[in-house]
Amino acid sequence: MVTMAKVILPGGEAVEAQGIPFLDLLGPRAKGAAGALWNGKLLDLREPIPAEGETRILTLADPEALEVLRHTAAHVLAHAVTRLFPGTKLAIGPAIADGFYYDFLFPEPISHEDLPRIEEEMRRIIAEDLPLERVWLSRQEAEDLLRERGENYKLELLAEIPGDRISFYRQGEFLDLCRGPHLPSTGLVQHFKLLDLAGAYWRGDPNRDMLTRIYGTAFPTAEELEKYLKWREEARRRDHRTLGPQLDLFSIQNDMIGAGLVLWHPKGARIRRLIEDFWVAEHYRAGYQLVYTPHIGRSRLWQTSGHLDFYRESMYAPIVIEGQEFFLKPMNCPFHIAIFKTKTRSYRELPLRYCELGTVYRFERSGVLHGLLRVRGFTQDDAHIICRPDQVEEEIKNVLRFALYILRAFGFTAFTAYLSTRPEKFIGNPADWERATEALRQAAEAEGLAYEIKAGEGAFYGPKIDLEVQDSLKRPWQLTTIQFDFNLPERFDMTYIGPDGREHRPYMIHRALLGSFERFLGILIEHYGGAFPVWLAPVQAVVLPVSKNEVPYAEKVAALLEAEGIRVEAWTKEGKTLSWLVREAQMQKIPYILICGPREVAEGKAALRLRTGEDLGPQPLPEVIARIKAASAQRTQAL
């Protein structure tokens, strides 16, 4: 008996067919169809219907078809480029999370000004509604064709494709090595935009050619494209590099002080101190002990730790004094280990959890510096847990739970974990690795965390789990990292005396929850759009007099709030109208604006305006104080 395959049409109707291409089956109904989904695999509509199973025809509206749309958009881009810039060599052009890109080697450099021209040519190709045809060539034919065209990158790709049937796609005069799938015709790519121009190494290898990458995006509808562009605009508006100086939180004065070195202004420092206080209190509560260690250490230390052998290019040059070499610390671990080693340790003391807000310096290459997110001097919220093998599971579980607790306090609610396992080159014994990796896995599961395994991506010294959070714009950021270290305990010969009276090697876990204060502040600024929750707002309330007659009252109100522990300012400078002051307070995103006019003075109240623009009218002062305190205790953006 022959089982026919089932094809589900966009309307939901099921048809039985096999062997013939989808497009033949669909006929006129192919309009708007983008691809087919069979066993979770995207198929091209030109392919024959599989012999068995169920296939669903996708329209552009199906989320699964987005990839096909964008991949085809990338081909349209490449097509346009070959028309406008003859002699351009093609590399690769995949769909990515937010759109697509295509890498080219242009005969002459191009710039952003060329993007509109390219878009225009793309529109032409789309208007021509060229059918995309799949062409199968033998390996020899493919090689001859690519060689004749001088497509060196494609030849390199070809060499890695197995088999003798090589898939190409043709649209009009444009032919590209590609395994598809693609939309039936270029006319289906309606809503697209070229976004950026960037350099990219061929195959990501810094030793190979630097290509020009053109980024773009495409959506099935104009609304979705518009929404995406708006989102990008909003993200730009929230950029911490704009908001930071605007809100007077920090500056980076590269000319005078140096690239990647951050100045924390009073308001930024205020936020930082609030985070630090919270962090330290919570760490003591969780059984950590705070330590302080120096910023520099002798070369012997870094020799022993192995940093001079493996990490030197990321370290600042040595400071030589009295014939000794000192290095700025790029990490805190060796110092914490040194504290551990000051005496003979008993198994009864473990686990030891040393935490430190440790400032480190790393010589990051100039091209990678980026606002607060990538700097050269930064303070990690670091800790090292030194424990017995039998304590590993419990410790890891606690660290992970602790990390989630801390991150949630900052309004992060969506997390993804990445579990990186043993790489090819590793040190330590496989049994330890297995145990550690298992502990990480179990902890993630115990917390109900979605995690992805990055096989072989662990550091050479141990497996790790990283937490990625999403900010309020759903952008991912990696903050927390929890790493095992099988290297340093060995190198520093760390031991403790077990119940058997003999020396044993402890496990060491390195972890940072917020990552670094610099990066974290940058992320927080963007996450909150500068409108910090009350507990973190550098100025929580501002008191504005309507005229100079109310200045004394405004100052009295401010003093009253200050006595209640509220961070408040009275803005009493002359020559500014109330409107001006309100505007200024709004732009500073101060949560509460207290306005005092003759009415409020008479009634002993303050008119309360929220950062949101909401005007609550005159309120008795005790109520205002209670409201601010309650909001602060909540640690949310609610006012």
Partner RNA sequence: GCCAGUGUAGCUCAAGGGGUAGAGCAUCCGCCUUGUAAGCGGAAGGUUGCCCGUUCGAGUCGGGCCACUGGCUCCA
Q: Which of 251, 271, 273 is nearest to 530 (CA)?
A: 271
Question: What's the token pair of residue 210?
Answer: 């630097």
Instruction: Report in angstroms how near the CB of residue 576 gets to RNA at its nearest.
Output: 6
Q: Which of 98, 110, 106, 112 is nearest to 192 (CA)?
A: 98
Q: Which of 581, 611, 592 is nearest to 540 (CA)?
A: 592
Residues in the chain, how many?
Answer: 639
Question: What's the token pair of residue 632?
Answer: 């602060």
d(CA 631, CA 418): 34
For position 626 contacting RNA by CB under 7 A, the verdict is no
117 belongs to the catalytic site = no
For RNA, which is the closer residue by CB, 7 or 482? 482
For position 367 contacting RNA by CB under 7 A, the verdict is yes
- Segment contacting RNA (CB under 7 A): 151-159, 279-287, 340-348, 540-548? 540-548
For position 197 contacting RNA by CB under 7 A, the verdict is yes
Site for RNA in 294-333 (CB under 7 A): none
Instruction: Report in angstroms how near the CB of residue 537 gets to RNA at its nearest.
Output: 15
For position 196 contacting RNA by CB under 7 A, the verdict is yes
Catalytic option among 89, 374, 422, 510: 510
Contact with RNA (CB under 7 A) among 61, 222, 368, 638? 368
- Segment contacting RNA (CB under 7 A): 50-58, 132-140, 495-503, 578-586? 578-586
Whole-angstrom CA distances from 376 to 189, 206, 333, 363, 630 are 44, 22, 18, 6, 38
- Compute how many residues bind RNA; rule: CB under 7 A: 74
Site for RNA in 124-153 (CB under 7 A): none
Instruction: Report in angstroms how near the CB of residue 29 gets to RNA at its nearest.
Output: 39
DSSP label of 321 = E
d(CA 467, CA 509): 16
For position 273 contacting RNA by CB under 7 A, the verdict is no
Catalytic option among 62, 382, 466, 485: 382
384 belongs to the catalytic site = yes
d(CA 518, CA 525): 11
- Segment contacting RNA (CB under 7 A): 298-306, 332-340, 561-569, 579-587? 579-587
Instruction: Report in angstroms how near the CB of residue 111 gets to RNA at its nearest.
Output: 4
For position 109 contacting RNA by CB under 7 A, the verdict is yes
Binding track over 372-391 against RNA, x by CB under 7 A: -xxxx-x-x-----------
User: Is the separation of the CB atoms in 378 and 518 below 8 Å?
Assistant: yes
- Segment contacting RNA (CB under 7 A): 22-30, 124-132, 424-432, 598-606? 598-606
Site for RNA in 449-488 (CB under 7 A): 478-479, 481
DSSP symbols for 512-531:
EEEEEHHHHHHHHHHHHTT-
d(CA 105, CA 101): 13
Contact with RNA (CB under 7 A) among 129, 284, 548, 623? 548
d(CA 482, CA 553): 53
Bridge partners for 384 per DSSP: 354, 510
333 belongs to the catalytic site = yes
For position 264 contacting RNA by CB under 7 A, the verdict is no
Instruction: Report in angstroms how near the CB of residue 425 gets to RNA at its nearest.
Output: 13
For RNA, which is the closer residue by CB, 70 or 182? 70
Binding track over 210-249 against RNA, x by CB under 7 A: x-xx-x-----------------------x-xx--x----
179 belongs to the catalytic site = no
86 φ, ψ to 5°? -60, 145
Contact with RNA (CB under 7 A) among 221, 413, 577, 634? 577
596 belongs to the catalytic site = no
User: Is the separation of the CB atoms in 357 and 276 below 8 Å?
Assistant: yes
d(CA 9, CA 23): 12
**3-state class of 107 per DSSP?**
coil
Q: Which residue has the tokens 């043709």?
A: 170
CB under 8 Å to 186, separation ≥6 — which residues? 72, 75, 76, 79, 125, 126, 128, 129, 130, 131, 132, 171
Question: What's the token pair of residue 387?
Answer: 């424990």
- Segment contacting RNA (CB under 7 A): 51-59, 413-421, 509-517, 626-634? 509-517
For position 266 contacting RNA by CB under 7 A, the verdict is no
For RNA, which is the closer residue by CB, 7 or 91? 91
User: Is the separation of the CB atoms in 466 and 420 below 8 Å?
Assistant: yes
For position 366 contacting RNA by CB under 7 A, the verdict is yes
Catalytic residues: 333, 362, 380, 382, 384, 464, 510
